[in-house]
């Protein structure tokens, strides 16, 4: 349970940090690249066993790490844009209500329980994502404001599902940090490719601000993944239940932070959406 609680706290911290990226005009891609270098370093430094870099491509989870690394870069960028355009609470709802995707695959791949209450909770969750993400104000960001939460919803669900699949089939308990470090290393590689292409088109200094922002982001990012994997490796919960509890915790904490710290405005639809998100995810957990 302690691993699950720590994952919730560190994951919530990511949304808050992304909000500050917009406030302080941080270059998202550059900060994300540095963040992955930090997470890579932490993963290899805190490894539970000794290993050689040359052995990593031979590990059964390596191709999964490559796939997840590419997804991480893409979804982190989407997450940052969503936090800046839609706010912390909407970002957490769109990202974490994607729990319906790993729950669905958990039922079919791992024969986890399925009940009327679980199906009802999933339906409520889908409605909640839309209501919490809709912006009533007419602005130039209206279409983009709905696009990014939807992309975040789908991408986060694919990441959680793939992470569970790789963890169940390929990652030993003593390999969690090495796997996590390799995953972040692959993400850094893809981030470097994108940065290099941008540099060819337009040369500009990297910026101390972006380096500092990336370092601040890298620590909670690393631990949010590590503690989630460790929680998945326990036998206390089915993965569908664990993802649900993890995500509702992040939604609730992020919503409170968005209201109290950033004074974010919520329309009536947004409030209903957040409320339904909590209801839906609790129903899935109780089911």
Neighbour tally for 149: CB within 10 Å: 28
Q: Which two tokens stand for residue 202?
A: 């337009």
- Report pLDDT for 135: 61
Predicted confidence at residue 106, as pLDDT, reads 81
Other Cβ atoms within 10 Å of 30 Cβ, number: 20
Instruction: Please tell me the distance from the alpha carbon of residue 222 to that of residue 234, in angstroms, as a whole number.
Output: 19
Q: pLDDT confidence of 137, banded at 50, 70, 90?
A: low
Q: Residue 185 corresponds to which tokens in the numbers above? A: 């290393």
Q: Is the pLDDT of residue 142 over 70?
A: no
17-to-80, 88, 244 alpha-carbon distances in Å: 9, 9, 23
Is residue 122 predicted with pLDDT exceeding 80? no
Over residues 46-101, the pLDDT tens digits come to 998 898 999 999 999 999 999 999 998 899 888 888 877 887 777 777 777 787 78
Give residue 140's pLDDT. Answer: 42
pLDDT of residue 111: 78
Looking at 15-19, 31-35, 153-157, which range is the least confident one? 15-19
Tens digit of pLDDT for each residue in 7-32? 999 998 988 898 888 889 899 889 99
Who contacts 237 (Cβ-Cβ below 8 Å, separation ≥6)? 231, 245
Summarize pLDDT for 195-236 with one digit per residue, the tens: 998 888 888 889 999 999 999 999 999 999 999 988 888 877
Residue 149: per-residue pLDDT: 86
pLDDT of 134: 66
DSSP codes, 153-176 = HHHHHHHHHHHHHHHHHT--GGGH
Phi, psi of 48 (to 5 degrees): -75, -10
pLDDT in tens, 168-191: 889 988 999 999 999 999 999 999
- Measure the CA–CA gap between 255 and 132, rounded to whole angstroms: 11
| Residue 271 exposed, middle or buried by CB count within 10 Å (0-12, 13-18, 19+) | middle
- Rounded Cα–Cα distance for residues 122 and 157 (Å): 13
Q: Could you give the 3-state DSSP secondary structure of residue 120?
A: helix
157-to-1, 27, 94, 211 alpha-carbon distances in Å = 22, 26, 10, 29
Between CA 182 and CA 36 the distance in angstroms is 10
* CA 265 remoteness from chain centre: 23
Structure token digits, residue 74:
């893409």
Sign, CA torsion 174/166/6/262: positive
Query: Chain centroid to CA 200: how far?
Result: 30
CA-CA distance, 225 to 7, in Å (whole number)?
Answer: 7
pLDDT at position 136, please? 59
Q: For the chain, report the end-to-end CA distance as a whole number of angstroms.
A: 19
pTM, to two decimals:
0.80
141 DSSP 8-state letter:
T
Neighbours of 87 (CB within 10 A): 27
Q: Give 264 or 59, the one with higher predicted confidence.
A: 59
Confidence tier at 238 by pLDDT (50, 70, 90): confident
What whole-number distance in Å separates Cα of residue 218 and Cα of residue 181? Answer: 11
What's the residue count for the chain? 287
Q: Distance between CA 220 and CA 111 in Å, rounded?
A: 32
Q: Are 125 and 284 in contact (CB under 8 A)?
A: yes
Please give the average per-residue pLDDT across 262-269, as a whole number: 79
């Amino acid at each position: 349970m302690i691993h699950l609680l720590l994952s919730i706290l560190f994951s919530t911290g990511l949304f808050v940090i992304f909000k500050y990226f917009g406030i302080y005009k941080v270059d998202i891609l550059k900060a994300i690249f540095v963040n992955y270098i930090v997470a890579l370093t932490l993963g290899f430094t805190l490894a539970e066993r000794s290993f050689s870099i040359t052995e990593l491509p031979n590990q059964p989870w390596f191709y999964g790490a490559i796939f997840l690394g590419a997804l991480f870069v893409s979804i982190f960028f989407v997450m940052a844009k969503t936090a800046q355009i839609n706010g912390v609470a909407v970002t957490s709802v769109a990202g974490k209500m994607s729990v319906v995707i790993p729950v669905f695959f958990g039922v079919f791949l791992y024969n986890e329980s399925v009940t009327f209450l679980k199906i009802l909770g999933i339906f409520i969750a889908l409605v909640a994502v839309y209501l919490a993400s809709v912006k009533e104000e007419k602005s130039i960001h209206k279409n983009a404001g709905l696009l990014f939460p939807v992309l975040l919803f789908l991408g986060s669900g694919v990441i959680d599902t793939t992470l569970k699949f790789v963890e169940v089939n390929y990652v030993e308990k003593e390999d969690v940090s090495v796997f996590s470090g390799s995953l972040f290393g692959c993400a850094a590689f893809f981030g470097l490719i994108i940065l290099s292409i941008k540099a060819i088109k337009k040369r500009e200094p990297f910026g101390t601000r972006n380096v500092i922002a990336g370092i601040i982001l890298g620590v909670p990012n690393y631990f949010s993944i590590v503690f989630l994997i460790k929680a998945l490796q326990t036998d206390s919960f089915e993965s569908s239940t664990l993802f649900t509890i993890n995500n509702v915790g992040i939604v609730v904490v992020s919503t409170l932070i968005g209201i109290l710290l950033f004074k974010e405005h919520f329309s009536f639809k947004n409030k209903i959406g957040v409320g339904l998100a909590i209801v839906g995810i609790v129903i899935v957990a109780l089911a």
